[in-house]
Amino acid sequence: MFPLIRGWTDVQRSPETNLRLGLVLCFVAGATNAGGFLAVGSYTSHMTGILSSVADDLVLGNITLALAGIVCLLAFVAGAMCTAVLVNWGLRQQLRSSYSLPLLLESGALLVFGLFGAAIAAWSQLFVPVTVVLLCFIMGLQNAVITKISKAEIRTTHITGLVTDLGIELGKLLYMNRSQPGTPVRANRQRLRVHLALVLGFFLGGLMGALGFKYWGYITTVPLAALLWLLCLRPLLDDLRWRAA
């Protein structure tokens, strides 16, 4: 199976491997976001909504809720910061697994979320707020990985931006060029296909995550964590062989 996923998280990149990794991470993000909502009653990738709710809560005098929203926002930022630190450290060490490091951390966090689901359900007043913060951290961590890898061409949780770009390219595609001076309007069909694939990947992940949490509960996150581990394993083994040589 390694030949099929070789290079997906390696430092040696290509547009094709960026897209493949982006699709997988969109699926994982959609599953975690939708499944997390069923588990804790909150979407954790939607920073626009969270920041808007902070403003609403401040105006309405719900200071505790506003502070909770700020903590979630800071957790997302902390996840992105953590990715930057891990990736840059790995690149300085000349590790082929530099981009794998934050994904390994994400898989560990997903395992914590999945394996301790029973405790979350039993002690909801204590653990649900912590879980929401953890999921926000995961979303920031993951989104920053593919953003850094693809030089901001691909994002996994920013569906608003993807749908906006999709609409722009569809508008270009439907635009009727008449015999007028100037450069004709042409849609970027490659960009159109990429954004459509990423949106569908997130949706399918959300669908599977919601179904998984509805019927199997928190254990649904274990296959997601295992998938991330599998993607990271090849460059990690290459680094171990290089260090041992």
For the chain, 245 residues long, give each residue's pLDDT as a single digit of tens: 455 566 678 888 788 888 888 899 999 999 988 888 887 778 888 888 889 999 999 999 999 989 999 999 999 999 999 999 999 999 999 898 899 999 999 999 998 888 777 666 666 666 778 888 888 999 899 888 888 887 777 777 778 888 998 899 999 888 877 776 777 888 888 888 988 999 999 999 999 999 998 888 888 888 999 999 988 888 888 888 877 66
Domain assignment present for 8: no
The per-residue pLDDT for 108 is 92
Check if the beta carbon of residue 146 is closer than 8 Å to that of residue 18. Answer: yes
Torsion of CA 232, 146, 115, 205, to 10 degrees: -110
pLDDT for 1: 46
- Domain with 157 in it: 15-244
- Closest to 45 measured CA to CA, from 106, 132, 151: 132
Predicted local confidence at residue 126, as pLDDT: 66
Angstrom distance (rounded) from CA 197 to CA 15: 14
pTM: 0.86
Q: What count of Cα atoms within 13 Å lies in the side-chain half-sphere of residue 205?
A: 27
Number of domains in the chain: 1
- Residue 171's pLDDT is 92
Q: Look at residue 174 and tell me if it is in a domain.
A: yes
Whether residue 1 is contained in a domain is answered as no
The reply to whether 9 falls in a domain is no
